[in-house]
C-alpha cells in the first residue's frame, strides 16, 4: 500500500476519540430508533381489513449507507483538493515538497488539537462553518432516516461537517498534487474512521468509553505530533 494511503488510514484511526465527539451524536440518532435485528423486519398493518406487510430496513444496512455517504464526500473533497494541488504545482510552480511541509505542520497542529494543548484548528473549523450553513439544511430532507437512500444522503451531507481532523488530512491530499491520489488519501482516511463510528453504531459502550479516555487520546495525539515532525524533516530535506 502507498505510504500516503497508509498514513491517511492511521490518521483516521488515531483520531477515533475526535470522531466520537464530532459524529457520535448523529450516529446515535441514526440508530436509536431502528430495529435491532440485522435482517429485514416485517410488520403487518391493517388497511381496509387486509393485512399488508411493511419491511423495515435493518440497522446494519442503514449504518453502512450512512458511512458510505460520509466517506464518499471525503473522497470527493479529496479529489477537489488534490486537483487544486496539481494546479498549484504546475501553474504556480510550487514544489510538492513544500506542500508536504505545509501538511506536516498541520499534522503537528492536529496532534496538539487532539491532545487539547493548542486549539488553533478551531479557527480553521470556523471558516468551514460558512459553507456548512448552506449544506446542513439538506440533512433535514433525510430525516427520519428510514431508507438506505436517506441514510446515504445524510452521510454525504455530514461528510462536509467542519472538522479539524478532516481539514488536516486534506492538506495531505493537497500535497499529493494529483486528483486520484487526493481522492484515495481521503478514502483511506474515511476507512480509518470507521471502527470508532461503527463501535458507537453497534452499541459497544465500553469500547467507546475507552477511546474517549484522556490518556489514550493524548497518546494518540503524541503519535500524530511525532509523525508530523518526521514528515516535516523528510519534506525539508527534499526542498533544501
Q: Which pLDDT tens digit goes with each residue over 16-73?
A: 777 666 665 666 666 554 544 444 444 443 334 444 343 445 778 888 898 999 999 9
SS3 41: strand
Q: What is the mean pLDDT of the chain?
A: 81
SS3 57: coil
Structurally, the chain folds into a number of domains equal to 1
pTM of the model: 0.82
Q: Are 85 and 213 in contact (CB under 8 A)?
A: no
Residue 233: predicted pLDDT: 95
Q: Which pLDDT tens digit goes with each residue over 172-199?
A: 999 998 999 999 999 999 999 988 888 7
Q: Which residues contact 159 (CB under 8 A, 6 or more apart)?
A: 69, 70, 71, 72, 73, 74, 77
- What cell does 138 get? 439538506
Query: How does DSSP assign 85-147, residue by residue?
Result: HHHIIIII---HHHHHHHHHHHHHHHHHHHTTS--THHHHHHHHHHHHHHHGGGGGGG-S--S
Residue 114: predicted pLDDT: 87
Residue 47: predicted pLDDT: 37
CA distance 64 to 32: 15
- Of 46-50, 103-107, 140-144, 148-152, minimum mean pLDDT range: 46-50
Q: Are 205 and 31 in contact (CB under 8 A)?
A: no
| Residue-number span of the structural domain to which 156 is assigned | 3-239
- Of 61-75, 120-134, 145-159, minimum mean pLDDT range: 120-134
Amino acid at each position: 500500500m502507498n505510504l500516503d494511503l497508509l498514513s491517511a488510514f492511521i490518521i483516521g484511526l488515531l483520531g477515533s476519540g475526535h470522531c466520537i465527539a464530532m459524529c457520535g451524536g448523529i450516529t446515535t440518532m441514526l440508530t436509536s430508533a431502528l430495529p435491532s435485528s440485522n435482517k429485514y423486519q416485517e410488520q403487518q398493518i391493517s388497511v381496509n381489513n387486509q393485512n399488508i406487510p411493511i419491511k423495515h430496513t435493518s440497522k446494519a444496512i442503514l449504518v453502512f449507507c450512512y458511512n458510505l455517504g460520509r466517506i464518499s464526500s471525503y473522497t470527493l473533497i479529496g479529489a477537489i483538493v488534490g486537483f487544486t494541488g496539481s494546479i498549484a504545482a504546475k501553474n504556480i510552480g510550487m514544489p510538492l515538497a513544500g506542500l508536504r511541509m505545509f501538511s506536516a505542520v498541520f499534522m503537528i497542529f492536529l496532534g496538539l488539537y487532539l491532545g487539547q494543548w493548542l486549539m488553533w484548528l478551531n479557527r480553521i473549523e470556523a471558516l468551514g462553518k460558512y459553507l456548512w450553513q448552506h449544506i446542513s439544511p439538506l440533512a433535514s430532507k433525510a430525516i427520519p432516516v428510514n431508507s438506505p437512500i436517506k441514510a446515504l444522503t445524510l452521510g454525504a451531507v455530514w461528510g462536509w461537517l467542519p472538522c479539524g481532523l478532516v481539514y488536516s488530512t486534506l492538506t495531505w491530499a493537497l500535497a499529493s498534487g494529483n486528483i486520484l491520489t487526493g481522492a484515495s488519501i481521503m478514502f483511506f482516511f474515511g476507512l480509518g474512521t470507521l471502527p470508532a463510528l461503527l463501535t458507537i453504531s453497534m452499541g459497544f459502550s465500553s469500547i467507546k468509553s475507552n477511546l474517549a479516555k484522556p490518556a489514550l487520546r493524548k497518546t494518540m495525539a503524541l503519535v500524530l505530533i511525532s509523525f508530523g515532525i518526521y514528515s516535516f524533516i523528510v519534506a525539508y530535506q527534499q526542498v533544501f
